[in-house]
Amino acid sequence: MHLNSNFAGFHLPMSTLKEQIDIEKLPQHIAVIMDGNGRWAKQKGKLRVFGHTNGVKAVREVSEACAELGVKHLTLYAFSTENWNRPKEEVGALMELLLKTVRLEIKTLIKNNIRLRAIGDLDSLPKATLNELNEAMEKTAGNTRMDLILALSYSGKSELTKAIQNISKEVAEGKLDINNITEDLVSKYLYTTHIPDPELLIRTSGEKRISNFLLWQLAYSELYFTDLFWPDFNKEELYKAILDYQQRQRRFGKTGEQIQSQTA
Ligand code: FPP
């Protein structure tokens, strides 16, 4: 237990990180770039795939912590379109790991009332992986506690390009007036229709990039970077990220004084 000294010299138990979180100010949507699996494995003299396998433990921890706290949406960047360019063996191993993890975790998702969703170019996934994923999504479709959203074969630029194509088609066919193209309308043409934008983005491994992730949706997200590699990320680290987020003043272009007078 951590101990705090007070002025009288008594030792009082320090509240845990979880207890310090203000549940009223919880982000509704947290997005995560799970980075550093390969370097984590290399540090241990192991193959990169060993890092991915251990990354699943962190996925479990963070999903559980978010559901326990009451976060409504958790989006995990599990595979980008650029990741298809990795060595064939690594791509194969990742697809296999995804399939096995989804198969193994489905009971836990159902028990915990968590809905599994996926965003990205899902048709490019191997058939077996896609089938497993579709089955899990169907079986959890009615769950309401939290959405666990996997970004798979995902690219923010390609998501926006598809949205532009679909909107243009509606305009060309006379179904949509160009003056009715609003920010809200664009949002509806993205994979994340009806999912609020993330208030908090976490990226592990010390890299400070967005890497083509949720380009539209992250416009006003608070960004949190940690040097930890993804397999070392856990519940306590998530609590730290949320506490850091809760210290920030979200101004959305306004002045600090304006925000203070709104909340006073
Ligand atoms: C990035 O680390 C991680 C990935 C590309 C894959 C993430 C996959 C998992 C955590 C496991 C499966 C996930 C689910 C949801 C079941 P990296 O390989 O880029 O690491 P590096 O930057 O150190 O090379």
- Give the mean model confidence (pLDDT) for residues 87-113: 97
Q: How far apart are CA 144 and CA 116, in angstroms?
A: 10
Residue 42, pLDDT above cutoff 70: yes
The domain ranges of the chain are: 25-155+197-248
In sequence order, what DSSP letters do the residues of 67-90 get, joined into one string?
Answer: HHHT-SEEEEEEEEGGGGGS-HHH
* pLDDT number for residue 110: 97
150 lines ligand 1 (CB under 6 A): yes
**Which residues form the catalytic set?**
35, 83
Q: How far is the CA of 47 from the centre of ligand 1 (A)?
A: 13
pLDDT digits (tens, 9 = 90+) for 198-235: 999 999 999 999 999 999 999 999 999 999 999 999 99
The CATH class that applies to domain 25-155+197-248 reads alpha beta
Q: Is 83 in the pocket of ligand 1 (CB under 6 A)?
A: yes
Tens digit of pLDDT for each residue in 120-161?
999 999 999 999 999 999 999 999 999 999 999 999 999 999
Closest by CA position to 37, among listed 252, 182, 207, 214: 207
**CA within 13 Å, CB half, 7:** 0
For residue 190, the tally of other CB atoms under 10 A from its CB is: 18
- Best of 35, 102, 103, 147 to mutate for ligand 1, by most ligand atoms within 8 A of CB? 35
Measured in angstroms, how far is the CA atom of residue 71 from the centroid of ligand 1? 22
CA of 95 to the centre of ligand 1 (A): 11
Q: pTM for the whole thing?
A: 0.91
Taking a C-beta distance cutoff of 8 angstroms, is the pair 200, 181 a contact? Answer: no
Best of 32, 33, 37, 48 for a ligand 1 pocket test (most atoms within 8 Å of beta carbon): 37
pLDDT at 20 over 80: yes
Indicate the SS3 state at residue 232. Answer: helix
List pLDDT tens digits, range 179-208. Answer: 999 999 999 999 999 999 999 999 999 999
Q: How many residues does the chain have?
A: 264
